[in-house]
A and B are shown apart, each in its own frame.
Chain A
Amino acid sequence: MYEAQTGSVHALENVSIDVQEGELVCILGPSGCGKTTLLWGMSGLHALTHGRVLLDGTPVTGPRPLEIGMVFQEANLLPWRNLRQNLEFPFEIKKRKADAERIVALLHQTGLEGFEKSYPRELSGGMQQRASIVRALAQDPAVLLMDEPFGALDAFTRDEMNLLLLRLWTETEKTIVFVTHNISEAIFLADRVVVMTPRPGRVAKIYDIGLPRPRTIEMTFEPSFIALVQEIKVAVESGGRHLLEVE
């Protein structure tokens, strides 16, 4: 349902990605591979110089807040608003009445209930990022675009957040595009991992991840998982050009 095509531009070259409805796709690559540019292009925040982004067949030329929710690097909460006011922000912009019921349900799902009056600085990093996911889901968009959301968190919190995201994804049946530079995070979360290589950014390979769901942290210690991490690491480092030699 989600298509992004780019022509030959500096940051991205001939990138073409299709995302199915309800799919969780991770875009993986080192910094400078244009993955964030691609995601911002998909969100309509950043006009691509060439190419186009289609959502359900209609071109995305600007932000579409009711259909696309965006989760940013770091939590990006507004520090002068408390949690509740932060979650009402999207509704305020659209001059709509906040969907209190939905917000309460999401706060419950993310374990944030009781913190409505807290200011962002009073919340831990993980809680802040959970709040930003709730904010992105508040208007019930069909698509969630996540830009390295857990990059600043410690490994333990990151595992916790990944599990929470998978649970939310199963419960809400959203389509998620998740950008990361962490290989095991990408494999752990995704149905498919799109591996990108830098300069210029292009798709090296797309991996279908066959791990059964629901996924558990234990799976990440299995030899097959580790082998896949290794394979993808080689693919990233060789720029996708020498894959045949590896095989």
Chain B
Amino acid sequence: MSNVPQELRDEIPSFEKQAHEEQGPINWSALTSIQGARSLAEIASLVGLFAAIFFLVQGIVVWTHTPTYVFPKPIDVVKTFAQDFTSTEMHALKVTTIEFLAGLAIGSTVGLVLAALLTLKPFVEKIIAPYVLIMVTTPMLALVPFLRLKMGFGLWPLIIAVALASGPMVMINSATGFRRTDLAKIALARSYGASTFQIFAKIRFPLALPMIIVGYMVGSIFGLLTAVGGEMVAASEQGGLGKDLVYYSSLARMPEFGATILIIAILGVLIYVIFYFIGKRWASWEA
């Protein structure tokens, strides 16, 4: 029977289970396993641990008489953050957010479309794969000075860098998603007379959605990193959170430095939480 063409075997329509279990480079369940606190005891322990670390650092810094320019007291950082500092940093936050969002929008759209197109042609996908890998693994931060020279002192060089950092991440994860073609579900759609586009929109895309969301999650974290890092290397005339980091550290203004890091950390957590809830809402059937 080995000479029987694959498409005539009896087992064709008995669909491979593995397709379902295929895991991308990022394990979705690992990313989503951080569950919300369930009980009062859990919340108390979480807050308790945070307080313990906070006051331990505070205690050490006070007790050792560490000067502020060496390490800021955590309380000073929070104080600075809570004072008019956040409003003075609003502009920097806005600039970084614009770079990040514009870059993510461009990069992820291109990445998503390319992933959807490339997975239709396995051969093209195969020869493109090494370049995608190079783009994923190369820190796009390295390109910022070059882009700055070529494109001037506006926001564009950083937007492009963010797009280059996040796009391939979205693409590689989305491609993993689009590759998990469930033949049974495609056959189902075809049996109802679905067009190629309908099969894409109603079967292939929803099947890929969990991986696409993972791609966005990872890609946006890379994007934020590149935006802030890019500003540290070569900020635009508009500045940004990364430029302020360099500024405050050069003046040894550690409480402001710490407060800026706090803003960036909150931004990062916010991005994670947003995509976590998007995943929960739109792809919970799998997680």
Q: Is there an interface contact between B285 and A93, defined as CB atoms closer than 8 Å? A: no
Look across to chain B and name the residue whose beta carbon is closest to the beta carbon of A38. B10
Determine the residue in chain B with the shortest Cβ distance to A12.
Answer: B8
Stretch in contact with the other chain, from B80-88, B91-99, B140-148, B184-192: B184-192
How many chain-A residues does the 8 Å CB contact rule pick out? Answer: 40
Closest chain A residue, CB of each to CB of B187: A45
Task: Using CB atoms, name the residue of chain A closest to B195.
Answer: A93
Question: Hey, which chain A residues are within 8 Å of B184, CB to CB?
Answer: 72-74, 76
Whether B286 sits at the interface, judged by CB under 8 Å, is yes
Q: Is the CB of B10 within 8 A of A63?
A: no
Interface residues of B, CB < 8 Å — how many? 32
For B3-22 the 0/1 string (1 means CB < 8 A from A) is 11101111111110000000
Max chain B Cβ within 10 angstroms of own Cβ: one of A46, A70, A80, A120: A80
Residue of B nearest to A74 (CB): B184
Q: Does A43 contact B (CB under 8 A)?
A: yes
Q: Tell me the complex Cα distance, A92–B189, Å.
A: 10
Contact indicator A89/B192 (Cβ below 8 Å): yes
B202 within 8 A of A: yes
Interface string of A77-115 (1 = CB under 8 A from B): 011100000000110111000000000000000000000
Hey, which chain B residues are within 8 Å of A49, CB to CB? 8
Q: Is B194 interfacial (CB-CB < 8 Å)?
A: yes
Closest residue of B by beta carbon distance from A29:
B10
Judged by a CB distance under 8 angstroms, whether A117 is at the interface is no
A32, B1: Cβ atoms closer than 8 Å: yes
Cβ B189 vs Cβ A93 within 8 A = yes
Contact (Cβ within 8 A) B192 A37: no
Partner of B8, one of A11, A72, A120: A11
Closest to A72 in B: B184
The residue of chain B having its C-beta at the shortest distance from the C-beta of A9 within the complex is: B8
Instruction: Kindly state the separation between the CA atoms of A43 and B14 in the bound complex, as whole angstroms.
Output: 16
CB distance from B111 to the nearest CB of A (A): 22
Could you tell me which A residues sit within 8 Å of B by CB distance? Answer: 9-11, 31-37, 40, 43, 45-46, 49, 62-65, 68, 70, 72-74, 76, 78-80, 89-90, 92-94, 119-121, 147, 198-199, 201
| Chain B interface residues (CB < 8 Å from chain A) | 1, 3-5, 7-15, 184-185, 187-194, 198, 202-203, 206, 209, 282-283, 285-286
Q: List 28 A-B contacts (CB under 8 A).
A: A10-B4, A11-B10, A32-B11, A33-B10, A35-B10, A36-B11, A43-B191, A45-B187, A45-B191, A46-B12, A46-B13, A49-B8, A63-B190, A68-B191, A70-B188, A72-B13, A72-B184, A72-B187, A73-B13, A73-B14, A73-B15, A80-B206, A80-B282, A93-B189, A93-B202, A94-B192, A147-B13, A198-B10
